[in-house]
Amino acid sequence: MQITRPFLPSRFAAVAVLLLLPFPPTRAEQLTSPPETSAIIEKVYSFDLEGAQEAARQMQKEHPDDPLGYLLESDALWWRFWCTAAEFKYGMSDARRRAKLPDDQHYLELAATASSLASAELKQQESAQMQLYAGMADAAAARLYALRGENRNTARSGVRARDHFLRAKTLDPNLADADFGLGLYNYYVDTLSAIARILRFFMGIPGGSKQEGIRLLEQAITHGVLTPDIARFYLAMNLHRYDQQYERALTIISPLAEKHPSNPLFQLARGDLLAKLGRKPQAFECYRAAAVLPVHAPDCQARIRQLARASITALSLPQEPAAP
């Protein structure tokens, strides 16, 4: 049975939420990145967030004028925010709301620094790479504002991010990584309720198409260099959350969970889809795996165990996730 959820302010805030994760080294003819980039990315995807943040800070010291180090550190912080804000509701674990907390200031400063550095480079010489980084910086701010329910700040930052991504595509039509941000924008805008569409019109937020959003996300998965994995994650989450296409979403998320088995969030997402499809034993194994995975941040680990317990309870199975 499909579950219809009421429109929430957070959904309107998600209009411009362009969740970004770190990315692997890029093609020389399109983008350049420091050699340590791939190692930092692996730490983030493997959920070694503390190690990723430390390595990103080292990159900032060695490449102080490159926005990438600041974006990577913000990504490491973001996944901790996502983790601690997640709730198990409607049969899935998802980050829905976060209060303003002290760590937010450093995160927003990282986004602002990346934006400033990219803008300075663009004034000297425009490039698709710096337009992409500028878009990522604005999107990084937008996703936190969205999680805090700050609709206007989210919309402003998200629309700026969209403009940068569009410009990056104009400069380099083959830059599939920009399709990730544009894909999420299109998808989210087209999921708004009728009331929110009216608000969108008065706030001057450009429209979008869900089908175009899916197409762009698939482009990023297939042809992107920077964003295939995170595009895969969010396409699966959206097909689950908004379209109830559980089987399709499972085929999209499974390779990600298999590639990064130490990431508890990927295990939870996969388990949720298996549960919706009635495959309870397999869902239980995913939930249990998430519960026992080591996480350095105590607050995040506590939340993951809580999510796993709630997920297993929803399966109506007697077992509880084992403590490590």
- pLDDT of residue 246 exceeding 70, the answer is yes
- Rg, Å, the chain Cα set: 19
In the structure, what pLDDT confidence band is assigned to residue 168 with cuts at 50, 70 and 90?
A: very high
What confidence score (pLDDT) does residue 48 get?
95
pLDDT tens by residue, 261-291: 999 999 999 999 999 999 999 999 999 999 9
With CA atoms as reference, report the closest residue to 135 among 199, 98, 178: 178
Separation CA 104–CA 150 (nearest Å): 13
Q: Which helix (H) or strand (E) element contains residue 169? A: helix 151-171
DSSP string, 11-75: HHHGGG-----------TTT----TTHHHHHHHHHTT-HHHHHHHHHHHHHH-TT-HHHHHHHHH
Separation CA 113–CA 108 (nearest Å): 9
In the structure, what pLDDT confidence band is assigned to residue 205 with cuts at 50, 70 and 90?
A: low
**CATH of 245-324 among 1.25.40, 2.102.10, 3.30.230, 2.60.40:** 1.25.40
Average model confidence (pLDDT) for the chain?
A: 86
Q: How far is CA 145 from CA 3, 75, 105, 242, in A?
A: 27, 15, 12, 21
Separation CA 87–CA 99 (nearest Å): 14
Q: Which amino acid is at 139?
A: A
With CA atoms as reference, report the closest residue to 268 among 49, 75, 47, 98: 47
What confidence score (pLDDT) does residue 18 get?
44
Separation CA 70–CA 57 (nearest Å): 8
Separation CA 94–CA 237 (nearest Å): 9
Query: Residue 9, Cα to own-chain centre: how many angstroms?
Result: 19
What confidence score (pLDDT) does residue 184 get?
87
What confidence score (pLDDT) does residue 318 get?
56
Q: Do 213 and 185 meet the contact criterion of CB atoms below 8 Å apart? A: yes
pLDDT tens by residue, 26-48: 443 466 889 998 889 889 989 99
What confidence score (pLDDT) does residue 25 get?
40
What confidence score (pLDDT) does residue 46 get?
92
What confidence score (pLDDT) does residue 155 get?
84
- pLDDT of residue 320 exceeding 70, the answer is no
In the structure, what pLDDT confidence band is assigned to residue 207 with cuts at 50, 70 and 90?
A: low
3-state secondary structure of 79: helix
Which residues are within 8 A (CB) of 42 and not within 5 positions of it... i.e. 6 or more apart?
Answer: none
The length of the chain, given as a count of residues: 324
Number of H helices, E strands in the chain: 15, 2
Domain boundaries, the chain: 9-222, 245-324
Q: Do 151 and 9 meet the contact criterion of CB atoms below 8 Å apart? A: yes
Q: What is the pTM of this model?
A: 0.84
The CB density around residue 310, as the number of other CB atoms within 10 Å, is 14
- pLDDT of residue 195 exceeding 90, the answer is no
